[in-house]
Amino acid sequence: MTTIQKDNTVFTVIIEITTEPEYQAELVQLSQGSLDIMATMEGFLSASLYRSHDGTKIIRHIHWRNRQDHDNCIKHPRWIEEGRDIKRFIDQGRGNIIMKTYDSVINL
């Protein structure tokens, strides 16, 4: 795991997917596959995957060296292929996704 130093600036993607408790385990598994692909991409620094105790959410927290590295990843054929499973999950009405991007400003 990469340690983010106090003076580093990184590009961060936080993805929240809301689902029903009976689908959370499947969603975690799908997310693990996509994170495994990301981890092989240039500029990837670290990722964390969280699941809520009530079973209704997962959070993916991904750090990239910069925005361009992230953008290159999501255009990569391996990522597009892997992302189809999560897209299908969402398109089937089993989840809602919110993705936001951030630049770090303070790291302690």
pLDDT at 106: 74
Question: Are 65 and 43 spatial neighbours (Cβ–Cβ below 8 Å)?
Answer: yes
- Could you list the mean pLDDT of each consecutive 10-residue stretch along the chain, which spans 108 residues? 60 96 95 91 96 97 94 92 90 96 80
pLDDT at 3: 54
- Global pTM reads 0.85
Nearest to 42 by CA among 62, 66, 67, 69: 69
